[in-house]
Structure 1
Amino acid sequence: MLKTKVMISDTEKITSSSSNSNSNNRMTGTTHFDVIIVGGSYSGLAAAMSLGRALRKVLIIDSGKPCNGQTPLSHNFLTQDGKIPKEITTLAKQQVAIYKTVEFLSEWATSGKKTEKGFEIETSSGDVFTSTKLIFATGIKDAMPDTKGFAECWGISVLHCPYCHGYEERSETTGILGNGEYGFEFAKLISNWTKDLTLFTNGITVLTNEQTASLQKHHIKIVEKEIGQLEHTNGKLEKIIFKDGSEKTLKAIYTRLPFVQHCPIPQQLGCELTDDGYIKIDTFQRTTIKGIYACGDNTTRMRTVANAVAMGTTTGMIVNKELVEEKF
């Protein structure tokens, strides 16, 4: 199973929120918190802000390496459209750090345990922190294919979301990497942004006759050749080179990758996953284990910064409400 990295660099370390500045010192010495949040990107920080404003003692454990770290710009997030992703998280950390009951920790979360009073999280240094509630905002890890050039282009010109990137690639020569029902539906969607569109099935098509006819009717080309590599400059796609030596010039290509949960601890604690591999939650962000909540990309295919923030904010409010209710 994957070990979750939750380390940030010394220059990014914020250990005591009361100082509202970066520090190389360790935490204030607190070991028990109302809530521990594992994962401190958009969703985790949003949850922390809600909880900090509710005067809850919170510990955020974060890697500082979100899935969109390679993405040049973030889009479709009101007030933050066109910002560098790290700019958003940097500002978010500064704003969360204002709340004196919220602390940050720069270590690895290596294991978790259920206790009579809540939960324990152990870090790579051997330190153990306890909390009444636990939130996982740990995201997912994309499983990159071994196609040369693919990983370097991921998030830059090999894309997963037209709502995040489609406007910038509008009317460009664009591809879809997919097959069957998935390839057909994705091609239909992307045709809204460009009319110069090709579906690359990377082998023999499994499209139905009706799907093939529908794509052809809308002038969407189908290429069944196997892909050899992606030629690019600094992640900006230039062409697909097929295994037979032929080429196709492209500016962007959309696809969806298989993934694994970035953090194994929820499953270690008994949290169930959906058939698609996401952490199973109810409408109140509760996992299948009482006292554990999840938010962000680890719970949904709706993979946008705006959605992660919304889910985190909601989770923080719900967790605070349940802490209140447990006292009455």
Structure 2
Amino acid sequence: MKNSDLLDVIIVGGSYAGLSAAMSLGRSLRNVLVLDNGKPCNRQTPYSHNFITHDGEKPLEILKNAKKQVENYDTITFFEGLAIEGKKTENGFEVITENGESFKAKKLIFATGITDDIPNIKGFKECWGISLIHCPYCHGYEFRNRKTAIIANGDRGFHLSSIIKNLTDDITIFTRGEACFTEEQLQKLSENKISIIETEIEEMVHHKGNVDYLSLNNGEKLNFDAVYGAFHFKQHSDIPGSLGCKFTEHGHLVVDHKQMTTEAGIYACGDNSSILRSVANAVHTGNFTGAMVNMELSNEVF
């Protein structure tokens, strides 16, 4: 492949959603380039769960095997690098990487994921994805009936509590400041014996990512086995926004029933466009997006 070639599709992001989209397109003989910088967001997570046929496997092993299978399709090419700019062209789109490489295609798929804005508190980064977790469906079963903390406030904290309550009866919410619950929510939390602590967290003390206790700035040290966090996030790539793609009020890319963004010819799949954040959902949306892009390409020439 030459950089001057007009490809059918460029997929920005080569993790679970991107590879799934690539396979779908490769099986339809589409010329596809997968651009990826090799840093999936769950690279620190030891095991992936709630993904049928892959339950309990290491995420990086799933990713390695997926790429190996996608590489069997001759029309798919991989490029390791970070995409930093996107442009609309007369025939489609152009994507430019951080080292100046440029590629052109008729359609774009963004499978770029999101980046969590976790607190700048000692120990959080090291525990993220191990004992500091974002999803009870992905990891909650492994911490069932264990002493559990939730770092969240308001609706997010209340929502997480209602789901996690089915997994453990020992829950404490840390709001890291004044609690922002409605009277009805406070009553529900009290009825379910879920306590609320407003004191700021100073450190998550851990052993190789496994939490031992939370150290508060008032000197208290409270032991926990698992910590859930509901944090804000940002899009991992700025390119969709620069191309005019719109976002939901929560920050996800807006997509229609075909996974197309608000800009014609630009699609999105995986965590960047869905509140359902899991490997299984990323694979599903990627597979579906590949099929929808292939259908659009077919209809344009048929």
Taking structure 2 as the reference length, the TM-score comes to: 0.97
In the superposition, relative to structure 1, how do residues 188 and 99 fare at CA in structure 2: closer, same or farther (>3 Å)?
same
d(CA) in 1 for partners of 2:249, 2:178: 27
Alignment of 1:255-270 (within 5 A): 255-270=229-244
**Offset at residue 207 of structure 1 (A):** 2.1
Is it true that 1:276 corresponds to 2:225 in the alignment?
A: no
**Offset at residue 126 of structure 1 (A):** 2.1
Match of 2:49 in 1: 75
Alignment of 1:1-328 (within 5 A): 31-328=5-302
d(CA) in 2 for partners of 1:301, 1:239: 30
- Report the AA paired with residue 120 of structure 2: D
**Offset at residue 235 of structure 1 (A):** 0.8
C-alpha contact (below 8 Å) 1:142/1:259 kept by paired residues:
yes
d(CA) in 2 for partners of 1:325, 1:66: 33
| Between 67-76 and 180-189, the greater mean CA deviation after superposition | 180-189
- Report the AA paired with residue 37 of structure 2: S
| Between 180-189 and 315-324, the greater mean CA deviation after superposition | 180-189
d(CA) in 2 for partners of 1:206, 1:128: 48
In the superposition, relative to structure 1, how do residues 107 and 210 fare at CA in structure 2: closer, same or farther (>3 Å)?
closer
Identity %: 51
C-alpha contact (below 8 Å) 2:3/2:103 kept by paired residues:
no
SS, match of residue 65 in structure 1: coil
RMSD: 1.3
| Between 97-106 and 201-210, the greater mean CA deviation after superposition | 201-210
d(CA) in 1 for partners of 2:196, 2:234: 30
What is the aligned length? 302
**Cα deviation digits, residues 60-88 of structure 1 (max 9, x gap):** 00111111111110000011110111000
**Offset at residue 151 of structure 1 (A):** 1.1
Gaps of 5+ in 2: none
C-alpha contact (below 8 Å) 2:3/2:104 kept by paired residues:
no
C-alpha contact (below 8 Å) 2:49/2:139 kept by paired residues:
yes
**Offset at residue 171 of structure 1 (A):** 0.3
**Offset at residue 150 of structure 1 (A):** 0.9
- Report the AA paired with residue 265 of structure 1: I
**Offset at residue 152 of structure 1 (A):** 1.0
**Offset at residue 283 of structure 1 (A):** 0.9
d(CA) in 2 for partners of 1:214, 1:33: 55
C-alpha contact (below 8 Å) 2:138/2:278 kept by paired residues:
yes
d(CA) in 1 for partners of 2:251, 2:290: 23
**Cα deviation digits, residues 281-327 of structure 1 (max 9, x gap):** 11100011111100000001210000000000000000001100001
d(CA) in 2 for partners of 1:154, 1:128: 35
**Cα deviation digits, residues 51-109 of structure 1 (max 9, x gap):** 00000000000111111111110000011110111000100000000000000001221
- Report the AA paired with residue 274 of structure 1: T
C-alpha contact (below 8 Å) 2:152/2:231 kept by paired residues:
no
d(CA) in 2 for partners of 1:209, 1:324: 55
| Between 230-239 and 216-225, the greater mean CA deviation after superposition | 216-225
C-alpha contact (below 8 Å) 1:31/1:128 kept by paired residues:
no
